Amino acid sequence: MRKITTILFSLFISISMIAQSKSPYISKVYDYRPAPGQFVNMLPQYESGDTQEDMNRKAEEAISGENKGLISLGAYGGYVIFGFDHPIVNVPDSSDFKIWGNAVLSASGDSRDGGSCEPGIVMVSYDANGNGLPDDEWYELAGSEYHKPETIKNYQLTYFKPDENKEKVPMPGYAYIDDMTYVKWESNRSDSGYVYHNTFHAQPYYPQWITDETLTFEGTKLADNYLDESGNGSYYVQYAYPWGYADNYPNTDDRSNFDIDWAVDAGGNPVHLPAIQFVKVYTGVNQYCGWQGETSTEVMGAVDLHPDASLMAGISNINADNQTIRLLKNPVKDLLVIESPKQQIIGIYNLSGQKIRTKQLSEGINNLNCNDLSKGFYIIVSDNKTIKFMKL
């Protein structure tokens, strides 16, 4: 049986046209924090004096709306967090949103799809506390590799800020790698290595607006997806995973779509989210492909695949017992009369999934003034039930 999430409600979903216009595209970037990489400080362009807020804004300018600019997340763990101006509804039996990257397919050594496929892990969050910020619980969308034994959970990797003036150590036999000891990294799996520096990109690879001497990222790590098909380091193919990762298949392919029903909690248990409003994408592999450099997920934007879907709530008991709230009048005009079996906190939401208010109920009958609510439908969310009511 599917685990009930800490959002604490279960909603039925239906599709309806709504009058209010919503953008199907990214509206805001909340945090852009790449790991070191050859395109970092270039995509987007860092300028001396830029702060974290400046780089968030530049990333937003690149990937919001229909801009389809490009931002690089760097090596393993580097991430971006973005959001939409409305909740993306979890429509049953349907892909819910698409993430644009720059993956391409090309000639490969076997029947699998391969080319430049740099898989990024996708996480989602719902604005459960209604404050408009991505500070609620995150859920990973479990792609095709999630349950495989070679996939590492709770992987932690730390990068060390390099001395840009240190003596370079070229890699023997690789003319394009001019420093093989550039950005050191260590993981909690007792391995270590370097992000190499190459001759194609001369700028610093460590994000220059971050003053910390170390950068640490944690999450799920996928197995390496590349093969040196040439055998001599001249032609690397990065093979696509079957489904569930950003920058893994071309944008025109349905396998760059995502289904909210793939969500799992930190313990790997499936959860049901009625909608999501925030998305986090991070580079999911820790690998280096010779002269091609580190594998780094790129993001060009994202789109809600059904922006006209709206949340329509029916009554859904989470616990099949009598310890649930009851709405004693429905529809209501000026007073909500709620019977509660215990003292508890409820939330009142509109049909777009936005929290209108929070109320403390006492055990017994509660009378709540609702004169300030506009006419229409609303959702009451308790710790074990959801109820839809109409305000006249």
pLDDT tens for 203-240 read: 999 999 999 999 999 999 999 999 988 888 888 899 99
301 and 325 part of one domain: no
> Whose CA is closest to 122, among 98, 147, 86?
98
Which two three-digit tokens encode residue 238?
A: 């990065």
Is 2 domain-assigned?
Answer: no
261 and 365 part of one domain: no
- The total number of structural domains in the chain stands at 2
- pLDDT over 80 at 361, yes or no: yes
Using CA atoms, how far apart are residues 344 and 192, in angstroms rounded to an integer? 50
> Whose CA is closest to 58, among 76, 80, 37, 36?
80
Domain that residue 371 falls in: 316-391
343 and 215 part of one domain: no
368 and 344 part of one domain: yes
Contact between 376 and 350 (Cβ < 8 Å): yes
Is 4 domain-assigned?
Answer: no
Q: Please say which residue of 311, 332, 351 terminates a domain.
A: 311
272 and 343 part of one domain: no
Is 253 domain-assigned?
Answer: yes
- pLDDT over 90 at 192, yes or no: yes
Average the pLDDT over 304-317 and give the result. 63
CATH number at residue 327: 2.60.40.10
- pLDDT over 90 at 142, yes or no: yes
Average the pLDDT over 305-329 and give the result. 60
Least confident of 3-12, 57-66, 83-92, 211-220: 3-12
234 and 336 part of one domain: no
Is 34 domain-assigned?
Answer: yes
336 and 214 part of one domain: no
Cβ-proximal residues to 190 (8 Å cutoff; 6+ apart), any chain: none
186 and 329 part of one domain: no
- pLDDT confidence bin for 92, thresholds 50/70/90: confident
279 and 330 part of one domain: no
